[in-house]
Amino acid sequence: MTLIVGFPTPGAIVLGADGEEGTSLHKAAVRKIEPIGGPGYRCAVAGSGDSNFIDLAVQEAKDALKDLSPPTLTDIRITLEYVVTEIYAERIDKLPLEQSSDAQFDLLCAIWAEKDKRAQLIRVGRGYSLVRSRPDVSGTGTYLASYLIDTLAHDVVSRRQAERLAAYVIAKAKAHVQGVGGVTQIVVVTDEGKSELVPKAVIDEDEFAGQHVMDAVRLLFNWMDLLNVNGNIKELDNVADDVVKLIKLGFHNRHQQLAEHIKKVAAQPIPELPKGEPPDLLPSQE
């Protein structure tokens, strides 16, 4: 099972997904955001539903997009729609009914075209491809994810705010939705055509910060009660001040922990890389 979240922001599209696949008996860590790239275009493709058909859609999309030189955003969107629709018509529809119902899938994608000089968030399914101007979610846990995004997001969020919100939303889904788990993956596709993987250390920090702040919000909700203090506004001020102190204390402690960790890492000898070709740390965008 998969949860995908997508955020259109000024200058970039932020796409996030959980990193676990399988059943209650067998789980595996997987990369759920696949890069597709070529001259003049970039795509980050994430799918929810049947993983085999999602992989097939990515494979066929790579082949189909190679024939466009170079494509526009509309070309990319229509090509992805055609690929998904053909998979349904040629494969899923021919399965027995009990199998076809489990083989459904759709895609949430960040795409960029040099001709348009901007990135775009699109949702693709059988017979449709929609440009999304607001945050979108797909897969398992969408009700929770949509609620959190509607509650916490402004009408316009920056790239950095979207990265933090994606990390927090997926973390809450992993905690409360069965089948959502693993290491969170967040990819950013910019209006300049860059496809950037948000480092795990940044995601971990965003998960901590989001949880810490929301714990403070819980305190404010329970104790900022004007009726409970008989209209004593000074007492409410004291409550707010105490909560702010707790927030600051938590971040100060976190800062100290990180500083100590950095010192320990810096003190360790740097291991030598094996001789030969350098390791491929990030997937190729081509």
Q: What is the pLDDT of residue 248?
A: 92
Q: Please give the average per-residue pLDDT across 222-247, as a whole number.
A: 87
Contacts of 115 (CB under 8 A, 6+ apart): 40, 70, 71, 72, 73
pLDDT of 29 over the 90 cut = no
Q: What is the pLDDT of residue 122?
A: 98
Most distant CA pair in the chain: distance in Å? 74
Q: What is the pLDDT of residue 269?
A: 74
pLDDT in tens, 147-187: 999 999 988 999 999 999 999 999 999 999 998 999 999 99
Q: What is the pLDDT of residue 22?
A: 61
Query: Average pLDDT of the chain?
Result: 89
Q: Could you tell me the two tokens for 50?
A: 């049947």
Query: Strand 128-132 to strand 118-125: parallel, antiparallel, or no bridges (unpaired)?
Result: antiparallel
Q: Which residue has the higher pLDDT, 247 or 26?
A: 247
Q: What is the pLDDT of residue 283?
A: 46
Q: Order across the sheet with 33-38: list the strands.
A: 33-38, 41-49, 105-113, 118-125, 128-132
Residue 101 pLDDT class (50, 70, 90 cuts): confident
pLDDT of 228 over the 90 cut = no
pLDDT of 132 over the 70 cut = yes
Residue 282 pLDDT class (50, 70, 90 cuts): very low
pLDDT in tens, 64-96: 998 887 999 999 999 999 999 999 999 999 999
pLDDT of 278 over the 90 cut = no
Q: Please give the average per-residue pLDDT across 211-236, as a whole number.
A: 87
pLDDT of 97 over the 90 cut = no
Q: What is the pLDDT of residue 59?
A: 95
pLDDT of 281 over the 60 cut = no
Q: Which residue has the higher pLDDT, 283 or 55?
A: 55
pLDDT of 280 over the 60 cut = no
Query: What's the whole-model pTM score?
Result: 0.86
pLDDT in tens, 241-272: 998 999 999 989 988 888 887 788 777 775 55
